[in-house]
Amino acid sequence: TTPIIFDTDPGVDDAQAIAIALAHPEIELLGMTTTFGNVTIEVATHNALLLAELGGQQIPVAQGAATPMVKPKNPPPGHIHGDNGLGNIALPEISTQALPQSAPQFIVEQVNARPGEVVLVAVGPLGNLAAALQLDPSLVDKVKQVVVMGGSIREGGNVTPVAEANIFNDPHAAKAVLEARWPLTLVGLDATHRCVLDPDSMARIVEAQGKLGRVLGESYAFYRTFYQQALGIDGCCPHDSCALAWLLRPDLFTTTRGTLSVVTEGLAEGQTILAPQARAFVDARWTRDATVEVCMGADGPAVVEWIVETL
Ligand code: BDR
Ligand code: CA
């Protein structure tokens, strides 16, 4: 099994991914770390605790970034995930609480306890990973792998024409994380927009997932309306689940290597730009030696089938 820390801002598609992390026999979920993003930090932490409870598992949850590192942003827009992050559906009370330590502290502790073993899967804005790197720069050599759902190379953005939400919400943190010298794979919109979780597939998941299934199904209905309006598709892109799909089934994705740069200011704020390793560029600023792997496409139907089979 692979020990992972799941860094998340739940979020409808985060909730689906959390269900996968709880269910998959090859994943050992060491803990969840929360960030603002789709929702406020308080709501994110509440939802992470709730989803673990509904899944019947005791998973440590550490609360993290409440704001972007440098520049304040508008509050989360309620129309995508709902003000409660789960499509504004009625939710049961929770009985568990977050750990006393912060998300970055939790990450540093866990990685140092098992050097070379832990995979960080980040599916929200990247403030917790950036802060963990600041606390302990040796993490770059101690994590096994970092998988980030975020960014877009050729696909265009979903917040602005060039920026994807997780990167846009904290571009300075994204810059620190994506430009660091650690083994990192970016699973962005170039891959996740190829995957559409259709209503029939969701119905199969709801049937199999008990209490958690109700929450996944009802929140999906809300998210589906957003996708109908935004992209004109019938179904939702399971963005965050794709990060886990890449981890366990990399054969379902096409990838390339290169250096990533993140735009932190101006109209293109939040854009991720790839300088492919296979090409030579005159301006050396684009080609530092921190190369990463970037997903450029995915076998969408196969990824969706993997999600349904897992759940
Ligand atoms: C990403 O942004 C959030 O809204 C989703 O949860 C996902 O992590 C997609 O751009
Ligand atoms: Ca997310």
Q: How far is the CA of 281 from the centre of ligand 2 (A)?
A: 33
Convert the pLDDT of each residue in 175-191 to its tens digit. 999 999 999 999 999 99
The number of the ligand nearest the C-alpha atom of 38 reads 1
pLDDT at position 222 is 93
Q: Is the CB of 10 under 6 A from ligand 1?
A: no
Q: Return the best residue to mutate from 187, 189, 239 for the ligand 1 pocket (most ligand atoms within 8 A of CB).
A: 239
Q: How far is the CA of 278 from the centre of ligand 1 (A)?
A: 29
Convert the pLDDT of each residue in 203-221 to its tens digit. 999 999 999 999 999 999 9
Q: Which residues belong to the active site?
A: 9, 239
Residue 87 dihedral angles phi and psi, to the nearest 5°: 65, 25
Q: How far is the CA of 13 from the centre of ligand 2 (A)?
A: 6
Separation of alpha carbons 282 and 194, rounded Å: 33
Q: How far is the CA of 10 from the centre of ligand 1 (A)?
A: 9
Convert the pLDDT of each residue in 123-179 to its tens digit. 999 999 999 999 999 999 999 999 999 999 999 999 999 999 999 999 999 999 999
Residue 276 has pLDDT above 90, yes or no: yes
Q: Is the CB of 7 under 6 A from ligand 1?
A: no
pLDDT at position 21 is 98
Confidence of residue 290 (pLDDT cuts 50, 70, 90): confident
Q: Is the CB of 121 under 6 A from ligand 1?
A: no
Separation of alpha carbons 223 and 163, rounded Å: 20
pLDDT at position 285 is 86
The number of the ligand nearest the C-alpha atom of 157 reads 1
Which token pair is 214? 């109700």
Q: Return the best residue to mutate from 189, 195, 240, 244 for the ligand 1 pocket (most ligand atoms within 8 A of CB).
A: 240
Closest CA to 116 of 137, 98, 96, 138: 138
Report the pLDDT averaged over residues 211-239: 94
Confidence of residue 77 (pLDDT cuts 50, 70, 90): confident
Residue 179's H or E segment, with its range, is none
Please compute, for residue 277, the number of CA atoms within 13 A of its CA located in the half-sphere on the CB side.
Answer: 11
Q: Is the CB of 170 under 6 A from ligand 1?
A: no
- In this prediction the pTM is 0.98
Instruction: Evaluate the omega torsion of the peptide bond into residue 11 and state whether it is cis, within 30 degrees of 0.
Output: yes
Q: How far is the CA of 10 from the centre of ligand 2 (A)?
A: 6
Question: Percentage of the chain surpassing pLDDT 90?
Answer: 92
Confidence of residue 279 (pLDDT cuts 50, 70, 90): confident
Question: Whats the size of the chain, residue-wise?
Answer: 311
Using an 8 Å Cβ cutoff, are 166 and 7 in contact?
A: no
Separation of alpha carbons 203 and 154, rounded Å: 32
Confidence of residue 278 (pLDDT cuts 50, 70, 90): confident
pLDDT at position 79 is 87
Q: Return the best residue to mutate from 12, 16, 166 for the ligand 1 pocket (most ligand atoms within 8 A of CB).
A: 166
pLDDT at position 125 is 98
Closest CA to 106 of 244, 242, 4, 20: 4
Question: Terminus-to-terminus CA distance in the chain, angstroms?
Answer: 17
pLDDT at position 287 is 85
Q: Is the CB of 193 under 6 A from ligand 1?
A: no
